Amino acid sequence: MDLTDKVILVTGANRGIGKSISLRLASMGARVAVTGRNMAMLDKVVKEINETGGISKGFKLDVAIDNQAHNVTKNILDIWGQIDVLINNAGVYMYETPVWKTSVEQWDYVMNTNLRGLFLTCNAVIPHMMERNQGHIVNIGSSSGKVADDEEGKSGSGPYSASKFGVVGYTMSLAKSLYPYGIKVNGVNPGWVDTDMTRNEIPAGGSDWIKPEEIADAVGYLLTQTPYVMSGQFIDIF
């Protein structure tokens, strides 16, 4: 796919992985709708993209809240008339709570953003893609969605791992369901990524962590270099 003038919606784009993805895709000619909960941070991303020759607009979106994704989708369609690609990146992590002490509130906090929010955003965008009989969805999962990394149940990643296993399963299901409509669904499963979120949770993280720009490279590859028939696949990055 040539990304020139394509419209791409990126969730969780105000920092970290989402910001890097947005910058990379804008540099490849796409019009990027950056979304997230912090409008001030989104404005900075939009400014950086536009000042370097790209095209971007920011939209406030908490993916965990009903109808927000539908409203943002409508706003994007009103402005640009199409959404060619959806990047589901928004996510949260919880650390230092043993899995057996996880509260319902903690469980819901992680699941509502990482899995339910992805579901709500897909539901908002997919009908438009089906009408056009084309589209590409890329879901940002995690290595924790393939192999649980909650050593002895102490790291607090139980809900996170469960949510990312769900992302992998939902991606596979979407890929099979949407393939007849010309919509590809793929994903990226990174290991530990050096972002503000992970640094805040794990200050002693390793210097060998993946850089957000490497995730952006993988997303760019999925959108531009993979065969048309490739769907339901994940790129693993460690």
Looking at the annotation, which residues are catalytic?
160
Whole-angstrom distance, CA of residue 185 vs CA of residue 201: 30
CA 136 to CA 34: how far, in whole Å?
A: 17
Residues whose CB falls within 8 Å of the CB of residue 49, separated by 6 or more in sequence, listed in order: 22, 23, 26, 32, 34, 55, 56
Contact (CB, 8 A) for 153 and 169: no
* Tokens matching residue 167: 């992302």
The angle subtended at Cα 190 by Cα 187 and Cα 195, nearest 5°, is 120
Distance CA 237, CA 160 (A): 18
CB contact set of 164 (below 8 Å; sequence gap of 6+): 114, 141, 142, 144, 145, 189
How far is it, in rounded angstroms, from Cα 172 to Cα 40?
35
